[in-house]
Amino acid sequence: MARTSRLAAACCTALALCLSGCAGGGARTAPKNASGESTVRIMVGGIDKQIYLPLMLAQKLGYFKAQGIDAVLSDEPAGVDAETDMLAGQQDAVVGFYDHTIDLLSKGKSIESVVQLLQAPGEVEMVRSDEASTVRSPADFKGRKLGVTGLGSSTNFLTEYLAAKDGVKPSDTTSVAVGAGSTFVAAMRNKQIDAGMTTEPTISVLESKGLAKPLVDLRTAQGTRAALGGTYPASCLYLTTAYVERNPQVVQKLVNALVETLHWIQSHSAAQITDKMPAAYYAGVGKAVYTAALAKEKGMYSPTGLMPADGPRTVLGVLSAWDPTVKGHSVDLSKTYTDAFVRKAATTAKAATTAKAATTAKAATTAKAASPAQAGTRTTAAATPTR
């Protein structure tokens, strides 16, 4: 059954690759809307997940609009579905895990990350509570049904790696696509899966209902290094190289907005961030629980948007450990990401800050210089007798 599931995932990806190939592998020029803004279609594999929070936050803060971008956001249950839609030309960009760029490059498709949103996956492998005494590590995955958001998704990649690292072959487990949120919770409750990988706020829901317990925690850089052997850059904005080359100014504006959002996250509390999110995002768990979960994992957000130095090599190592498409193949990691747009965004932001500070200082100096004259005028006026 595990082999059949993986074959189905491979067929879906192959179809998407074929469709993009039939379309000539080209990319459209970003169209303008009636207001003159560049329209960019961005898809996310679970837009209400905290690991993808920067995208909606940028929208709510008005940073895309400020850059002249009409960001049309849409949602899919899993990152692999978003990737497939982009390859088929139905979307312009995806906010998903960086590992997809390496996986696709090994299949002959040039996709690149232009800004890194997370410096840790933010994922947790959860084990069903009634199985927690027997499934104590990934070494106990043999013969188990393991929940992932989608076949070929990043949760699938990471789960396969954790099993392989502990000596369990992919053919010895069954990957089950259960999505995220309510469908993941239902799969645990109905015992469709024995363990599974998910994110907040689903993790908090499972724990509060007593349905599952954490087994492997990838919400912090420290936990990620322990489990995966290094920094694992996760959520990012990725596009086809053809789109980036055809629309460099539009891509720069997208990156400007997201880098500004990452800076905003660093300077605001979890409660302030939650206040900006749609109420539907925490309706199932409650605002207080959502905020507490965000406070715990706020450190996973990148403070700069730059790719961690050891990140690409760690991700390649994870995929090479079990993925036959990547294993044994030469992958040019420099083609899977670029920091150029982030560096330019940082330079622009620094120049704007310096200019603002200079303007503020000049205004303060002018006001101070005017104060004595104003004071003298008031004194003179007060001393002048009324006639």
The model's pLDDT over 151-192, given as tens digits with 9 standing for 90+, comes to 888 899 999 999 999 999 989 999 999 998 899 999 999 999
The residue that leads in pLDDT, 353 or 328, is: 328
Copy the structure tokens of residue 260.
């500004």
The residue that leads in pLDDT, 321 or 382, is: 321
Using the predicted structure, report yes or no on whether residue 253 has a pLDDT greater than 70. yes
Using the predicted structure, report yes or no on whether residue 17 has a pLDDT greater than 70. no
pLDDT tier at 305 (50, 70, 90 boundaries)? very high
Are the C-beta atoms of 112 and 244 separated by less than 8 Å? yes
The number of beta carbons lying within 10 Å of the beta carbon of residue 257 is 26
Copy the structure tokens of residue 310.
């050891």
What pLDDT shows up at residue 297? Answer: 95
Output the average pLDDT for the chain.
88
Report strand pairing: 123-128 vs 93-97: unpaired
CA distance 145 to 131: 12
In this prediction, residues 99-119 reach a mean pLDDT of: 95
List, as own/partner pairs, every contact residues 18-22 make where C-beta atoms lie below 8 angstroms and the sequence separation is at least 24, other chains included. 19/87, 19/88, 19/89, 20/87, 20/88, 20/89, 20/109, 20/240
CA distance 182 to 364: 55
Are the C-beta atoms of 83 and 126 separated by less than 8 Å? no
Give which of 129, 172, 177 is closest to 152, Cα–Cα.
177
pLDDT tier at 128 (50, 70, 90 boundaries)? very high
| Residue 152 falls in which region: left (phi positive, over 0), alpha (psi -120 to 50) or beta | left
What pLDDT shows up at residue 385? Answer: 41
**CB-side neighbour CA atoms (13 Å) of 18:** 6
% the chain with pLDDT above 70: 85
pLDDT tier at 113 (50, 70, 90 boundaries)? very high
Phi, psi torsion values for 123, nearest 5 degrees: -100, 155
Using the predicted structure, report yes or no on whether residue 132 has a pLDDT greater than 90. yes
Query: Residue 201, preceding bond cis, omega within 30 degrees?
Result: yes
| Sheet strands (E) in 45-131 | 69-75, 93-97, 111-116, 123-128
What pLDDT shows up at residue 329? Answer: 85
Fill in the DSSP letter of residue 219. Answer: S
Give which of 99, 103, 191 is closest to 144, Cα–Cα.
191
pLDDT tier at 13 (50, 70, 90 boundaries)? very low
